[in-house]
Amino acid sequence: MEYEISLVTAVGISVLFALSLNLITGFCGQISLGHAAFFGIGAYGSALLCKMGLPFLLSLPLAMLLAGGFGLVVGLASLRVRADFLAITTMGVGFLFVGVVRQQERLGGEMGISGIPDAGFSKLAFMLLTLGLCVVAALFSHYIRRSWMGQVFNAIAEDEDTTRVLGVDVPRFKLAAFAMGTALAGLAGALYANNLKFISPDSFGFVESMTVLSMVVIGGIGSVAGVTAAAIVLSLLPSLFTFVGEYKLLVYGGLLFLMMRFSPDGVTGALRRAMAHGRR
């Protein structure tokens, strides 16, 4: 039973992580290939705060603020670049984070941080907390998607230049998307650190960034329900099929290739077209 609880908790953290990238890439069209860095910032921030004696629940909002703050800095630095150049910039941020963490002994260096204090929850309670935060994040994402801010995000994603000509303060909204998405990634990272009680630089590298991007693309860029479903399925695959864990990049890369070739709008788009065809 403990294994099932731990598995559900891990899946919930993956859902939070995927929803965080969906706010940036799915809603606002900003491609981020280094999103795991903000996941790591939240994890390291929460781990260090807890080791200093701060209660786990207080470390969560602080980890979100820390990751969101770094997200704003990266967003400010990325305002002058778009598309491929933005992707390369964010990829560089991901490599920079891992490099810095590896070199800093205060952050655990190559060995990472172990002995993270217990959160004070049973495994079941921690799982319920994680799932509750997933529901809140999904509802928040859905609200943003349907709000006027979501409409502006969509306009920026569709045609940034035209949106700017219409008088929209595009940089302000792009920064808002970055701040919200990275803060949510920080929350997922804080839960990840306190769930495992150990973190290392290898957990926040390029592979993790590509994994979460796969969840967003396969689920359907911008679709809250689709991204949630894809995060659940892709998180469970390594547990259900051993070879997926051994060839993770190969499997996820193949799925990404097939999805971009045959259904660029993800599984959600494919289902929508199938339903429309069935009605006709």
* pLDDT at 239 (0 to 100): 77
* pLDDT (0 to 100) of residue 228: 93
Percent of the chain topping pLDDT 70: 91
pLDDT value at 244 more than 70:
no
Spatial separation of the C-alpha atoms in residues 176 and 87, rounded to whole Å: 18
Half-sphere exposure of 186 (CA within 13 A, CB side): 25
Please give the Cα distance from 43 to 64 (Å, whole number): 10
> What is the CATH class of 2-205?
mainly alpha
CA dist., res. 162 & res. 262, Å (int): 29
Per residue in 48-107, pLDDT (tens digit) is 999 998 999 999 999 999 999 999 988 887 777 766 677 788 888 899 999 999 888 888
- β-sheet bridge partners, residue 114: 198
pLDDT tens-digit profile of 117-160?
A: 887 888 899 999 999 999 999 999 999 999 999 899 999 888 88
Nearest 5°: phi and psi at 89? Answer: -65, -50
What local confidence, expressed as pLDDT, does residue 262 receive? 76
CA distance 134 to 140: 10
- Residues of the chain with pLDDT > 90, as a percent, come to 42
Sign of the alpha-carbon torsion through 120, 126, 132, 137 = positive
pLDDT greater than 90 at residue 161: no
Cβ(220)–Cβ(269) under 8 Å?
A: yes
Output the CA–CA distances (angstroms, integers) from residue 142 to 20, 150, 181, in the order listed. Answer: 12, 9, 14
Residues 6+ apart with CB under 8 A from 162: 155
Higher pLDDT, 258 or 37: 37
Whether 45 and 182 have beta carbons less than 8 Å apart is answered as no
Q: What's the pLDDT score for residue 10?
A: 94
pLDDT bracket for residue 189 (50, 70, 90): very high
CB 250 within 8 A of CB 37: no
Supply the pLDDT for residue 126.
93
- Output the pTM of the full model: 0.91
